[in-house]
A and B are shown apart, each in its own frame.
Chain A
């Protein structure tokens, strides 16, 4: 599990390297080009998806919706609620 938090919007993007198979769908369909492949392989030998530029993330959920393996997700539990 690798957790990244946005400095202002306070949401998390979590990538799970035990589930990822490196298909690259989240990397390709990210509209802000935030994600990229890792340099090291995971235990199954795949080059997994990692968050590279968290400051550009706009919380569009495209990565979570495109992922077929439930390996990347957005967590909004610490986002401050609007009044």
Chain B
């Protein structure tokens, strides 16, 4: 590109705008808490942005009926930044809290924004049983493949060979495929997207909230400070370019019953080499969700 094209052009600057301009989602944010505490370029901010885009554009659930619950971790702060009803639950116990709210008030739509360490290491039992009962909730799991908040220890999602603070010679045990775990336990809607695919992610969150039953949305995020730095994957820009390069869009028909096709592949030194994304499961002849069945049983025995 010529040097003339890269000159700074100040002729379009508006010094005194006629009205106060604000971000599209500014009325849904607690402005006192912004700027966020996240590292520059973190994917959790993009996930919150996609969630706000989903509840304004891609779903018809009223904002008064949405409850944001989050667990412990970097992504646990999400309930504090969003100006909706919310609760910052105990470590791993975001799903039990949301289940209680859903059973007591079936109109409410709980949305759980939490990390892989919170939902899949300490809270795995709760997630499995909420999926088994098919409770009407949306789980947005921000998967950054490491325990980011506590300093980069290895998580149940860290790929084989990846270095972390507690595995300095490379990890030797196998990681979870989070979507596989959720589908195996009975989730009726399951999707996976990276933080690069913003619109697809927002649409999937909107569809998951409209869906009656347990919906699970996995967001592949970048932890460039604790995961990327130790594995030579570069900064947030390099990691998002990697997501753009290695994502493989898949449809429900492509996968069928062979859920092994959705496995994430990782090579030492290269980073992720294959991330299948898309909506993996959307059960149309779905079973009734849990609170409706409770009401039915109560009226039958009355």
| B42 / chain A contacts, CB cutoff of 8 Å | 68
For B47, the closest partner residue in chain A by CB is A68
Q: Which of B1-44 contact A (CB under 8 A)?
A: 1, 5-9, 12-14, 17, 19, 21-26, 29, 34-36, 38, 40-44
Which residues A1-24 have CB closer than 8 A to chain B? 1-7, 12, 14, 16, 18-19, 21-24
From B1, B22, B24, B36, A69 is in contact (CB under 8 Å) with B36
Interface mask (A44-83 → B, CB under 8 Å = 1, otherwise 0)? 1010000111110000000011111111010101000000
Contact A33 B1 (CB under 8 A): yes
Q: Within the complex, what minimum Cβ distance (angstroms) separates A56 from chain B? A: 8
Residues in chain A near residue B8, CB distance under 8 A = 36, 52-53
Once the chains are docked, how many angstroms separate the CA of A69 from the CA of B33?
Answer: 11
Set of chain B residues within 8 Å of A7, measured between Cβ atoms: 12
Looking at chain B, what size class is its interface with the partner chain?
A: 35 or more
Main secondary structure on chain B at its contact with chain A? loop
Quick one: which of B44, B45, B241 contacts A67, CB cutoff 8 A? B45
Q: How far is the CB of B151 from chain A (nearest CB, A)?
A: 20
* Alpha-carbon separation in the docked complex, A2 to B26 (Å): 17
The minimal Cβ–Cβ distance linking A52 to chain B, given in whole angstroms, is: 5
The distance in angstroms between the C-alpha atoms of A46 and B232, with both chains bound, is 24
If A52-B9, A69-B45 touch, whether A22 touches B40 (CB-CB below 8 Å) is yes
Among candidates B5, B12, B22, residue contacting A54 with C-beta atoms closer than 8 Å: B12
Please report the C-alpha to C-alpha distance between residue A44 and residue B23 in the assembled complex, in whole angstroms.
Answer: 21
User: By the criterion CB–CB under 8 Å, are B21 and A53 in contact?
Assistant: no
B77 within 8 A of A: no
- B7 contacts across to A, CB distance below 8 A: 53
Complex partner residue of A18 from B14, B35, B199, CB under 8 angstroms: B35
A57 to chain B, nearest CB (A): 9
- CB contacts under 8 Å to B, within A25-49, are 25, 28-29, 33, 36, 44, 46
Enumerate chain A interface residues (CB-CB to B < 8 A): 1-7, 12, 14, 16, 18-19, 21-25, 28-29, 33, 36, 44, 46, 51-55, 64-71, 73, 75, 77
In addition to A3-B13, A12-B14, A66-B198, 7 A-B residue pairs with Cβ atoms within 8 Å of each other are: A4-B13, A5-B12, A19-B35, A52-B8, A52-B9, A65-B199, A67-B45
